[in-house]
Chain A
Amino acid sequence: MTAAADPFPQAAREALADRQLGDNLRAATATIRDKRARIVAEVPDWEELREAGRALKAEVMAHLDEYLVRFEESVQAAGGQVHWARDAAEANQRVLDVARVHGVTEVIKVKSLTTDEIGLNAALAAGGVKAVETDLAELILQLDGDWSSHILVPAIHRNRTEIRDIFRRTIADPSLSDEPRELAEAARLYLRDRFLTARMAVSGANFGVAETGTVCVVESEGNGRMCTTLPPVLVTILGIEKLVPTFADLEVFLQLLPRSATGERMNPYTSLWTGVTPGDGPQEFHVVLLDAGRTRVLADEVGRQALHCIRCSACLNVCPVYSRTGGHAYRSVYPGPIGAILTPQLQGIERAKTLPFASSLCGACYEVCPVKIDIPSVLLHLRDSATRAAGSRRERLAMRTLARVFAGRRRFRAAVRLARFAQRPFLKNGYVRRAPGPLSEWTQTRDLASIAPESFRDWWDRRS
Chain B
Amino acid sequence: MRIALFVTCVGDAILPGVGKATVAVLERLGHQVDFPRDQTCCGQLHANSGYRSEALSLARRFVDVFEGFDAVVAPSSSCVGMVREVYPDLAREAGDESLERRVAEAGRRVFELSELLVDELGVTEVGASFPYRVTYHPTCHSLRVARIGDAPIRLLGAVDGLELIELPEARECCGFGGTFAVKNAAVSASMATDKCRAIVSTGAEACVAVDGSCLLQIGGRLSRLDAGVRAVHLAQVLAAT
State the A residues within 8 Å of B (CB).
8-9, 12-13, 16, 302, 320-321, 324-325, 356-364, 366-367, 377, 380-381, 383-388, 391, 395-396, 399-400, 402-403, 405-409, 412, 416, 419, 431, 438-439, 441-442, 444-452, 454-457, 459-460
Contacts and interface: CB of A to CB of B under 8 A. Distances in A.
Interface string B18-32: 011000000000000
A407 B57 contact: yes
B99 interface: no
B48 interface: yes
B230 interface: no
Given A360-B177, A367-B144, A447-B219, 8 more contacts: A363-B143, A380-B48, A399-B49, A400-B51, A408-B40, A441-B181, A442-B220, A456-B7
A309 to B, nearest CB: 19
Most buried by A among B7, B58, B176, B188: B188
Given A324-B191, A362-B144, A399-B51, A452 B13 contact: yes
Task: For chain B, give the interface size range.
Answer: 35 or more
Contact of A455 (B16, B48, B54): B16
Interface string B181-196: 1111111111111000
Given A387-B49, A399-B54, A449-B15, A361 B178 contact: yes
B175 A320 contact: yes
A320 B220 contact: no
Contacts of B17: 452
B19 A431 contact: no
B48 A383 contact: yes
Contact of B224 (A8, A320, A385, A445): A445
B235 to A, nearest CB: 12
Contacts of A399: 46, 49, 51, 54
A322 B188 CA distance: 12
Contact of A360 (B13, B43, B180, B224): B180
B122 interface: no
A377 B184 contact: no
Nearest to A26: B194
Given A399-B46, A449-B219, A358 B224 contact: no
Contacts of A12: 184, 186-187
Contacts of A9: 183-187
Majority secondary structure, A binding face = helix
Contacts of B14: 449-452
A347 B48 CA distance: 22
Contact of A8 (B182, B184, B193): B184
B177 A361 contact: yes
Given A16-B190, A320-B191, A399-B49, A446 B13 contact: no
A357 B35 contact: no
Contact of B12 (A403, A442, A457): A457
B15 A320 contact: no
A400 B54 contact: yes
B50 A391 contact: yes
Contacts of B219: 447, 449
B47 A380 contact: yes
A386 B49 CA distance: 10
A437 B191 CA distance: 22
B240 to A, nearest CB: 18
Contacts of B37: 409, 457, 460
Given A320-B175, A367-B144, A446-B220, A359 B13 contact: no
